[in-house]
Amino acid sequence: MPNGSGRSSSRARVSVDDMAIQRVAEGLRQPLPETLGKGSTLIRVLDEDLSYIETRYRPSRDLAIFSQVDHAEPRLVVTLGVQGASRFTANSGPEVIFREGYSTVTTFASSRGAREYQAAMPVAQLRLSLTRGWLDRHFGTDYCPHLFDRGSVRVVSHRPMSSAARVAAGQLLNDGAPMQFRSLFVHGQALAILAAELECLQPDAPAKGRLSARDVAAAHQARDILLDEFREPPSVEQLARRVGINQFKLKQLFHQLFQTTPYALLLETRMQHAYRMLEATRCHVSVAAYAVGYRHATNFTVAFQKYFGVSPKSVRSKS
């Protein structure tokens, strides 16, 4: 995560307006200058009020990218932290940390500040930017009117990413859809993410089975433990004991809050991590297997192929 102790004098600085923009089949691509590292941001306009932004960076130096945005209509942005972290520091307003495994919802009409990245730390983040008009059309004009009561950047929500959003983000980053269907595929996954991540914003949304605050906190704590300790995870019995509830209740809470099970979340986390590792480092399959907690590469290969429909070797050898 970016260091929060202050700005480094050695941090490289660049304005987003000075970065080249390339028109590609998928939309607009803005590469990171070669002197600052590798990666790019891809922008797809899905409709006039909804955009998909995919950023994958590996900066060679601590980096600050400055931007100034003024929208005629307030916008809401859902940011999914798939890998690594970044920090947005506004000229006025709150500092916002975008963390791996978390969904952050912000609103703003105007924004001036810098998004900061740490040297040598890979970052993958997906953003969905939509207007208030888009929300009005899809959810009604009475949906969360309180969200847009300020002009500057406002953090509306910061919470662990939903399982549905995690799956959709993985599908988007590993998009293998044929070119003629890609736009439709991306639009569909974007809507799945928004449906999962915006549900919690309504103040009067029905409670999930009248769960207590303690139950919700325990479920999120258990989920964070699995995400942090996926290489050597506790059993469901151990996990339940650590958060102070029984196994049966833990499984119920996972189903109600995350639409998944502890085992399914663990498998998803391991597989997504292994895919990124194989794709980025071209390491041996046995190395990736061990890195995500499998003692035997054969078991890992079977699980990987069943999960993704392709072998880990094919991901490793992709050009």
Residue closest to 92 by CA, chosen among 75, 118, 112, 106: 112
Measured distance CA(54)–CA(173) in Å, rounded: 8
The tokens describing 215, both together, are 């139950």
Residue ending a domain, among 144, 168, 201, is 201
- Asked whether residue 2 is domain-assigned, the answer is no
Contact 50, 130 (CB under 8 A): yes
Indicate if 177 and 240 belong to the same structural domain.
no
Q: What residue has token string 């590609």?
A: 24
Indicate if 100 and 226 belong to the same structural domain.
no
Question: Tell me, what CATH number does 244's domain have?
Answer: 1.10.10.60
Q: What is the pLDDT of residue 206?
A: 46
Indicate if 90 and 189 belong to the same structural domain.
yes
- Structural domain including 274 reads 213-316
Residue ending a domain, among 157, 172, 201, is 201
Q: Dihedral through CA 149, CA 87, CA 127, CA 132, nearest 10? A: 10
Indicate if 22 and 80 belong to the same structural domain.
yes
The tokens describing 128, both together, are 């969905």
Question: Tell me, what CATH number does 55's domain have?
Answer: 2.60.120.10
Indicate if 71 and 148 belong to the same structural domain.
yes
Measured distance CA(79)–CA(129) in Å, rounded: 9
Q: What is the pLDDT of residue 62?
A: 93
Q: How many domains does the chain have?
A: 2
Indicate if 293 and 185 belong to the same structural domain.
no
Q: What is the pLDDT of residue 8?
A: 43
pLDDT in tens, the chain (319 residues): 444 434 445 789 999 999 999 999 889 999 999 999 999 999 999 998 999 999 999 999 999 999 988 777 788 999 999 999 999 987 766 688 898 889 999 888 777 889 999 999 999 999 999 998 888 887 776 666 667 755 677 888 888 888 788 888 888 887 665 666 778 888 888 998 998 888 767 554 444 556 788 888 899 999 999 999 999 999 999 999 999 998 888 988 888 888 788 988 899 899 989 998 998 888 999 999 999 999 999 999 999 988 888 889 988 876 4
Q: Is the pTM of this model over 0.75?
A: no
302 SS3 class? helix
The tokens describing 208, both together, are 């999930």
Chain centre to alpha carbon of residue 158? 11
Look up residue 71 and give its amino acid: H
The contacts of residue 254 (CB under 8 Å, 6+ apart) are: 219, 222, 223, 260, 261, 262, 265
Indicate if 42 and 191 belong to the same structural domain.
yes
Q: What is the pLDDT of residue 138?
A: 79
